Each structure stands twice: as structure tokens, then as C-alpha cells.
Amino acid sequence: MIGIVIVSHSKQLALGVQELAAQMVQGKVPLAIAAGIDDPENPLGTDPMQVYQAIASIFNDDGVLVLMDLGSAVMSAEMALDFLNPQQREKVHLCAAPLVEGAIAAVVAAAAGHNIQQVITEAQSALVAKNTLLGIDSSPASVIPTSHAEFPTKEIHLTVNNRLGLHARPAAQFVTTAAQYQAQIKVRNVTRGTDAVRGDSINQVATLGVRQGHELVITATGIDADAALAALEVLINNNFGEDDSTFAPPVVESTEVSPASAGELSGIPASPGVAIAPVVHYQLPAVTATQYHVEDAEAEWQRLQIAIATAQQQIQTLFSQASLQIGDTEAAIFVAHLLFLEDPVLLEAVRSRIYDHHLNAEAAWQAVVDEVASSYHQLEDAYLQERVEDVVDVGQRVLRLLTGASASALELTEPAILVASDLTPSDTIGLDPSKVLGICTTSGSATSHSAIIARTLGIPAVLGVDPGILYLEDGTIMALDGGSGKAWVEPEADILSILEAKREAWQTAQQEALAKAHQPAITRDGKQVSVFANIGSIADVQVALASGAEGVGLLRTEFLYLGRTSAPTEEEQLAVYQAIAQVLDQQPLIIRTLDVGGDKPLPYIQGVPETNPFLGCRGIRFCLEHPDIFTTQLRAILRASTGHNIKIMLPMIASITEVRAAKEILNEVQRELRQAAIPFDANIQLGIMIEVPAAVAIADQLAAEVDFFSIGTNDLSQYVMAGDRNNPRVANLTDALHPAVLRMIQRTVKVAHDAGIWVGLCGELAAETAATAILLGLGLDELSVNPQAIPILKQAIAQLSISQSQAIAASALQLDSAEQVRQLTA
């Protein structure tokens, strides 16, 4: 019999739901609760171990359904799954149904002998009956078209100039921009003679086949038509924020490694590098939907909506992971995936099949996805044809969720070359370059999103080889050269020698670069610049030192607070800070105090919803509102400072009052530690982040209060330019190389140096070699970047002189735009 687990912040609520549900079925269905925490003063909360124990207590092969209330209950349930073995995990399902109604519907369905998918459907449809009684239409309003007949249609003609046209990322920006307006927007490709399509449909826009030089006609009908067209015109005229000067096609070596030999395979050179390792096959089995008739169309639609919502959460996680691994530009691939799931044309087509033809959700979804994929295949442009991989990737993700098919991650115990028919972007971003030494597939191209990700991760790849590789036994030795597009099965000794020599030469070059990275960064005229690392975990510090970091310029401490049901204790934090400091020895460790709130809420802190969280209670504002959390962190940092070179940095400072309030709390913590005879560094330095214009304006006053400044250009650029860097419509405004932002940096450095304190910069701008000369010319004392960028940054510094850099910076400050600044440094 299927078991039901109820997860709630309130133990009393969970017990009540359990009692009500049990009475409905006379105790026939196994029920367990995981609710509240063992804290008499603050009993509300959830505990992953409780959830695990509840699941284990009623686990059986028929399956377990877990229902949750909001916030940390969901995270606790997800974390509990990690304690289960893979076989158990496949039989445990987290359900987004409303807690009370869902539990009742689920136990009734379970008692009737329904299978787990039927029980989930019943639980998720639990509100339909109540909506019907109240006369509420539960159909999604988002797919009901709005009439704009009373407004005239406006029209503009534009030419697309960016090199690759409307590929996935610019198409995503176009759709995101169009969706911000009430007007109905349509677009057609005049050059190709297409019909007009909806501007809020990612698939219809992408399949227009727009390339460089194509002319578009965009129409808008509605109350804000003029504003919509103006925004789209700016977007297109700015080339969707793409810097084509940095575009470089995959490097293809023209020379053969050797003459053709036994076991040699030819393919497409997609990602350079040499790999020699045993073969491991990897391919998620394609999910195929079984079609059947359904009576309750509403329940099917709701089931699909829940699967889509879950897929969106998964892709958002992938996007965050990709942003850290390969940068925001390439990670934008997954923004297009998110928009696919919001495509109104696609959703309307699926909804029609469910409601009008009474198809089950899986069959309706697959039919429409297949149609979209076919429309990509029919495009004449080969590059745009390849975007079908993204359609299939997203489509299969939703199908797996609907059917309950598992999507187990690749687990390698030893380094290997991955062999597959193809890899999706979702597959590729999850690969570990230390274990996956190479990729060899039977399809794909050098311009596919998977190939782009492989190149960014540094994994050699050869695509489009003979399908015979799919029949190789795991463990067969393979060699591949991603530069020439060649692969060898069980290579002969002479081929192996050539490839090993080539691989060793490449590794030697890398090692030499790393060796130089451990030398000080000194300009040609003798100025030494400190190069530190931005890190966000204990693991990062080892990578940073191996990459040549001379210290840590920014330890983001948020990882200690997120994904938990309560704040980390003083001892937990102390252990982490000490571990990092011990690895660094006497090298500097700048610890930024907690920077959450607003856009990064903590689930265990009751917050007030904010209309604009970037202008809300975040950073130091949050800490001063929660002195208990702030005090605990300061105690841990101070205790870790003994015998180490630790500094404290306060984020989001906008006023003298904030600094003085924080210093008062810091002084009180120091007094308490002295009274308790607990050692700490009495001379610990205190600095602040300069990331809002107000801090620049009063930098002279702030400099009198602290020991150093660190400029955070990510936030500073968006606040200076009044543009949300996560909003595609205005993201191009938030370029930190805009002269307005550079002048802010100039003023900050001058004021700090006049006051006798040093200034660092820890924003992403520091990792751009195009900005290095300008930053040196502006007088920065320290640059802090992600570890992978350190060797390149140090090389760039060594090639410059301060006098040369000052001249470049002076010119940049007089220019009109970020584009002109980039041209200056190109």
C-alpha cells in the first residue's frame, strides 16, 4: 500500500492533517509526519533527518508520496532524499499539492488501490472540486489571448547585425523583452519571406531563421505599442548585447596527426585537446509517451503544469550552476530553455489537445514538442537547425517528470572518455572535467550548445564519428584529438606515442602558465599588483592557491546559510573559517559578512515581501536588522582570526550610520571575547564594499572609518546605470566598462589613497583582460577574481606599464559608452 508523509513547519498542524486523513480511510493507508523542530522556544521548522525517518518508517515497494507546506519544508524533503539509496529514491515522490486537501485526496486514492501516478494526480487535482463549488474557473488565464482591436497597429523595420542572427540567446532576449508589454507583438523575416509570428513565442521567433543582415518587420498592437517597439529597436540595434569582436569559431587544425591507420575514425573537431582513456557509454534512454483517452482534462492539465513548474526549478538550478562554471554569457543557453516552457503558443497547442481531444498530458506534450522540433529541422540554415537539441532537451525533461522516469546522473569512479549518440546541454553542463577527459559522439556539430559548453569546460570533443563506437565495450581504450577531429579505438603504439607527446606538450604549456601564475604580478615598470581569489566554499581555496592566488579577496559566506532550516552555529562557522585560514597560512583572507535578504532570502527568517528586492533589506541592512545572526558570525570570524591574516568586509554600505552601527556590534563582541579570555586578533582590519553610488559620494567620510575598500562592480554598475543586470531589456546598460562606472571607480580610489587606505576590486570586471589596463591606470591596489582567471590576469598585468595604463584609463574616462571603451582596449 502506498504510504503518505506529511511535512510541515507545525507539528500540531501535521498531527491534525494526519488525524483527518486517517479517519477518511479508517487507518488503511500508512501515514507518517515530519514536523516542527526540537526547540521549545521556537518549535516551528523542519528537519531533513525527520523527513528521512518518516519516509523510512512507511517505505514499501508501492511507493511513498511526500506532501509539504512551503519554504524549508520543500528543501528538507529534497535533502531527505539524499539519505535514501538509489532504488528507494526512485519510489519516493515529492508532491506540490496543497497540504490538507492533497493529503485527503491522496489517502482516498491510495486506499482505493490506485498506483502512485494516479495518487499523485488525485492529490494535485485536490483544489478542483473546491473551485467548482465556489464558481472559480481554474483554467490558466495565461493562455487566454487578449484583444487589442481598439488600438492601431504600429510597425518598424530593422536589420539584424549580430554575427549569428537570432540564435537561442538573442531570441530569448527578444521574447523576454516582448513579454514585458501588454501589446500584442508580431515579427516576420522579410528577407526570407516568412509569415508573421508571435513575438512572445521563443520557438516561433527562433524558427524565423533570422541571420546577420536579415530585415525584420515588427508590429505591435496595444496600449504600450510604441514603448514595446522602442525597446525592441534598442535591443536589436545594440546587437542583443553581444560583443562580436570576441567571437571566434572553433579552432580547427589543418594538419593531420598522422596518416590514416587501423582503428582511426574521422569526425568533427568540436573542442581542442587530446584525451586517452577507457570508454564509458552514456545515454539517457529517450522517454516515449503512451497515448490514451482521459475524462478529466482539468486534472491532466494540472499534472502538466506541475511537471513544467518542476522542470523550471531544475533548469533554474542548471542556469545558476552554469553561470559559475562557464559564465553568464554561455549560461544564457538555459534562459532559452526556461522560455521554451513559458511559450504561450506551445502551451495553447498542448492545452487544446488535452481539453479538446482528451489526450493524456504525456501524449499531448510529446506531440507538440515533436511539431516544434520538426519546424526547426525544416529550416534551411544549418546553424539554426541545430537548436532542435534544446527543444528535445527540454521536452524530454518534462516527459521524464510526467512519466516518473529517472534521470540518474553519470557517476564515474575513474577518468574516462564519454561515448554517446549525442549529448544535450543539460547532460554536458553536469560533466566533471576531472573525470570526463573527452567526449566522442555519433552526431552533433562544433556550433551546438553542447559543443560550446564542452569547449568552455575544457573537455576535448570529437563529434559525428561512425556509429560503430556505440557498440564498443566499456573499458576499451580510445584516444581522440579534438583539434583535428580524429579518434582512435585501441590506438597502435606509434599513434599513441604521437598523441601522448602532443598531450604532454599541451600539459607542459599549461603547467608553465600555472608556474608563472605563482609569481607576483608585476608590471613592466615594476609596480606589483596583488591578485586574490573570489571563493564561495572550502574546496575553492585549494583551487585558488593552485591557480596562483596570493590570498582570498572575497569569501562569500552565504553558502553557510543557504539550504538549511536554521542559521549555522558559531562553532560550525568557526570550523569553516579556520579550515580556509589554515590552508592560506598567513596569506590574506577577507571574509564578507552575510550578504542575503531581498533577492536571496533565508527560509528560516520571516521576511516582508519586497517589490524591488535589489533596493530592499539586503547586505548590512539585513545584518543590522538581525543582530543575533550578525553577532554570531562576527564571533566566529574573530575567534578564527587568531594566528591568521583575516579581515572583515561589510557589504552594501550606503551610509556612515551603517558602518558605525556595525562597528559598535563588533566592538561589543570583542569586549565579550576579552572578558571570556577567548583569543582573537585585536588588530583585525575592517573594510567595506563600495557597490552603491551613495558610498562613492561619501567615500571620504567612509575612509575615515575603515581600513580598506573593495569595489563590487557587479552591483555598482547596475545601481549607477539604474538597470537590473538580470533584465535582458536593460542588461546591456549595466556594463562595468561604461565611463560613468569607471569614473565612480576613479573617485573611490583617489579618495581612499588620499586617506591612506588601500583599494581592491572584486567584481567580474577584474577578470576581463580588456579592463586590466584601465584598472591599473585608475590605481587599484588589488584585484580579486575567480580562481580560473588568475593566470590570464597575471599575464595581462606583466605585459603592461603603469604609465601606459594611466594613458589608456584617461582616454577611457572621456569616452561616451562602454562600446567605445572596449574598442579602445581591443
DSSP state string for 744-813? HHHHHHHHHHHTT-EEEE-SGGGG-HHHHHHHHHHT-SEEEE-GGGHHHHHHHHHT--HHHHHHHHHHHH
Q: How is residue 589 written as a grid cell? A: 583572507
Q: Which residues are catalytic?
A: 449, 762
Helix or strand or coil: residue 496?
A: helix
Residue 139 has pLDDT above 60, yes or no: no
595 in Cβ contact with 712 (< 8 Å): no
Residue 436 has pLDDT above 50, yes or no: yes
Per-residue pLDDT band for 276 (boundaries 50, 70, 90) equals very high
What are the backbone angles phi and psi of residue 83, rounded to the nearest 5°?
A: -80, -15
Least confident of 250-254, 348-352, 616-620: 250-254
Rounded distance between C-alpha atoms, residue 820 and residue 639, angstroms: 48
What the chain holds in terms of domains, given with CATH numbers, is 3-138 (3.40.50.510), 140-241+307-396 (3.30.1340.10), 264-284+409-492 (3.50.30.10), 521-798 (3.20.20.60)
Q: For residues 176 and 325, which has the higher predicted lDDT (pLDDT)?
A: 176
Alpha helices by DSSP H, 179-224: 202-206
784 in Cβ contact with 710 (< 8 Å): yes
Predicted confidence at residue 664, as pLDDT, reads 97
Helix (H) or strand (E) holding 579: helix 570-584
Rounded distance between C-alpha atoms, residue 205 and residue 176, angstroms: 11
Average pLDDT of span 661-675: 97
Q: How is residue 5 written as a grid cell? A: 508523509
Residue 358 has pLDDT above 60, yes or no: yes
Predicted confidence at residue 594, as pLDDT, reads 94
Residue 745 has pLDDT above 90, yes or no: yes
Rounded distance between C-alpha atoms, residue 630 and residue 624, angstroms: 7
Residue 260 has pLDDT above 60, yes or no: no
764 in Cβ contact with 714 (< 8 Å): yes
Rounded distance between C-alpha atoms, residue 736 and residue 348, angstroms: 41
663 in Cβ contact with 623 (< 8 Å): no
Predicted confidence at residue 323, as pLDDT, reads 61
Q: What is the maximum alpha-carbon separation in the chain?
A: 85
Residue 345 has pLDDT above 50, yes or no: yes
Q: For residues 567 and 146, which has the higher predicted lDDT (pLDDT)?
A: 567
What are the backbone angles phi and psi of residue 35, rounded to the nearest 5°?
A: -150, 145
Q: For residues 155 and 448, which has the higher predicted lDDT (pLDDT)?
A: 155
Residue 744 has pLDDT above 80, yes or no: yes
Average pLDDT of span 19-45: 80
Predicted confidence at residue 253, as pLDDT, reads 39
424 in Cβ contact with 441 (< 8 Å): no
Q: What is the mean pLDDT of the chain?
A: 84
Residue 367 has pLDDT above 90, yes or no: yes
What's the half-sphere exposure (Cβ side, CA atoms, 13 Å) at 241?
22
CB burial of residue 358 (10 Å; 0-12, 13-18, 19+): middle
Residue 326 has pLDDT above 70, yes or no: no
Angle among Cα 258, 262, 267 to the nearest 5 degrees reads 65
Alpha helices by DSSP H, 327-446: 328-331, 333-342, 344-357, 361-377, 382-385, 388-403, 425-429
Residue 438 has pLDDT above 50, yes or no: yes
Predicted confidence at residue 242, as pLDDT, reads 61
Per-residue pLDDT band for 207 (boundaries 50, 70, 90) equals confident
Q: What is the pTM of this model?
A: 0.51
Residue 474 has pLDDT above 80, yes or no: yes
Task: State pLDDT tens for residues 394-420.
Answer: 999 999 899 888 766 677 889 999 998
Per-residue pLDDT band for 211 (boundaries 50, 70, 90) equals confident
For the ranges 92-101, 129-138, 249-258, the maximum mean pLDDT occurs at 92-101
For the ranges 270-279, 595-604, 777-786, the maximum mean pLDDT occurs at 777-786
Residue 261 has pLDDT above 60, yes or no: no
- For residue 121, the one-letter residue type is T
Q: For residues 357 and 450, which has the higher predicted lDDT (pLDDT)?
A: 357
Helix, strand, coil fractions of the chain, as percent rounded to 5? 50, 15, 35
Per-residue pLDDT band for 732 (boundaries 50, 70, 90) equals low
- For residue 745, the one-letter residue type is I
Q: For residues 725 and 631, which has the higher predicted lDDT (pLDDT)?
A: 631
Cβ neighbours for 497, distance < 8 A, ≥ 6 positions apart: none
Rounded distance between C-alpha atoms, residue 120 and residue 102, angstroms: 9
Q: How many CB atoms lie within 10 A of CB 357?
A: 14
Residue 166 has pLDDT above 50, yes or no: yes
Cβ neighbours for 621, distance < 8 A, ≥ 6 positions apart: 597, 652, 658
302 in Cβ contact with 124 (< 8 Å): yes
What's the half-sphere exposure (Cβ side, CA atoms, 13 Å) at 810?
6
Task: State pLDDT tens for residues 59-73.
Answer: 888 899 999 987 667
Q: How many CB atoms lie within 10 A of CB 261?
A: 13
Average pLDDT of span 41-51: 79
Residue in the block written with cell 535578504: 597
Could you list the beta-strand ranges (E) of 624-742. 646-650, 685-690, 708-711
725: closest CA among 344, 183, 323?
323
Task: State pLDDT tens for residues 490-519.
Answer: 998 888 899 889 888 877 766 776 778 889
Predicted confidence at residue 752, as pLDDT, reads 97
Q: Specify the DSSP class assigned to residue 359.
A: B
Rounded distance between C-alpha atoms, residue 334 and residue 172, angstroms: 10
Q: How is residue 63 written as a grid cell? A: 511507493
Least confident of 103-117, 220-234, 446-460, 750-764: 446-460
What's the residue count for the chain? Answer: 826
Rounded distance between C-alpha atoms, residue 586 and residue 202, angstroms: 52
Predicted confidence at residue 258, as pLDDT, reads 41
Q: How is residue 218 written as a grid cell? A: 515588427
Average pLDDT of span 175-185: 84
Residue 248 has pLDDT above 60, yes or no: no
Residue 141 has pLDDT above 60, yes or no: no
Give the percent of the chain with pLDDT over 90.
40
Least confident of 248-252, 487-491, 516-520: 248-252
Predicted confidence at residue 727, as pLDDT, reads 56
Average pLDDT of span 342-367: 92
Predicted confidence at residue 320, as pLDDT, reads 62
445 in Cβ contact with 463 (< 8 Å): yes
Predicted confidence at residue 629, as pLDDT, reads 95
Q: How is residue 622 written as a grid cell? A: 539585513
Residue 582 has pLDDT above 70, yes or no: yes
Predicted confidence at residue 271, as pLDDT, reads 86
Least confident of 103-112, 204-213, 672-681, 722-731: 722-731
Predicted confidence at residue 365, as pLDDT, reads 95
Predicted confidence at residue 255, as pLDDT, reads 34
Residue 526 has pLDDT above 90, yes or no: yes
For the ranges 157-171, 442-456, 668-682, 780-794, the maximum mean pLDDT occurs at 668-682
Per-residue pLDDT band for 252 (boundaries 50, 70, 90) equals very low
Residue 819 has pLDDT above 70, yes or no: yes
Helix (H) or strand (E) holding 636: helix 627-640
Alpha helices by DSSP H, 207-332: 225-237, 297-326, 328-331
